[in-house]
Amino acid sequence: MGQAALLDPLTGLGNRQMMTSAIDQGGEELSAVFVDVDQFKEVNDRYSHSVGDEVLRRIAVILRTHCRSGDVPVRYGGDEFLILVFGGHDAAEEVAARLHAAVRSAPWGQAAPGLEVTVSVGVGHTVASRGAIAAADAALYEAKRAGRDRVVTV
Coarse DSSP helix, strand, coil percentages of the chain, rounded to the nearest 5 percent = 45, 25, 30
Burial tier of 135 (Cβ tally within 10 Å: 0-12, 13-18, 19+): buried
The active-site residue out of 38, 71, 79, 137 is 79
Angle formed by the axes of helices 49-66 and 89-105, to 10°? 140
* Residue 36 annotated in active site: no
- Return the biggest CA–CA distance within the chain: 47
| Closest to 18 (Cα-Cα) out of 2, 7, 32 | 7
CB-CB contact of 33 with 137 (8 Å): no
Strand-pairing partners, residue 36, are 80, 120
Catalytic residues: 79
